[in-house]
């Protein structure tokens, strides 16, 4: 059996830190997230049950559409 990558507390701490950066700083916050924070956010989202099961892409946009508020 492999050791866990993080403890439950580490996972929550890292995910919360990443979310806080994005929440406080918006798009700039996304550039400040560490790889561990991003992995923890993704892992927490995956285990939360909020995502559809693998192989069920109905209604899921696999390529996110990013919009900008800049004037052309």
Question: Which residues are within 8 A (CB) of 60 and not within 5 positions of it... i.e. 6 or more apart?
Answer: 52
- Confidence check: pLDDT of 36 > 90: yes
pLDDT at 67: 74
Q: What is the mean pLDDT of residues 1-15?
A: 83
Max Cα–Cα distance, the chain, nearest Å: 54
Rounded CA separation 34/47 (Å): 20
pLDDT at 34: 97
- Confidence check: pLDDT of 33 > 60: yes
Strand segments (E) across 1-72:
none
Q: Work out the number of other CB atoms within 10 angstroms of the CB of residue 30.
A: 12
Where b means 16+ CB within 10 Å and e means fewer, 40-54 reads bbeebeeeeeeeeee
């Amino acid at each position: 059996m492999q050791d866990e990558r993080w403890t439950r507390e580490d996972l929550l701490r890292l995910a919360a830190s990443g979310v806080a950066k994005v929440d406080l700083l918006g798009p700039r916050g996304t550039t400040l997230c560490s790889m561990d924070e991003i992995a923890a956010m993704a892992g927490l989202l995956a285990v939360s049950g909020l995502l559809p099961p693998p192989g069920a892409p109905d209604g899921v946009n696999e390529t996110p559409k990013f919009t900008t508020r800049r004037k052309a």
